[in-house]
Structure 1
């Protein structure tokens, strides 16, 4: 009986679609946020601001900041 109980509990851990809003930022946009500042420097600037990079990529500045934090990057 214990093994049947354990098996039913483990079946509940299956990865199924979850409710909520689907992802709107593509992998290509994430890659651009991470790679673009490394490839191009702006004239007279040492680093990219989240607002300027957001304009180039086409996402919000808050999204740029979240991606930077996720990858451990700093402006």
Structure 2
């Protein structure tokens, strides 16, 4: 198990919070395919062996997914 400093732990917690919120938004709009993709990101993040580079990629993907989920909500679940 890797050891993490406080900054890494905080970064993971924030990303996990964001991913969970995004997953819930996709699920509430009925977009279960995207919801499951976000769930895979959550599972990767919970794996303690995820590298900093992978966390960076997850953060980028989470930002895009959050934007897409917000667009779905704003458009009234088209």
The structure number with the bigger radius of gyration is 1
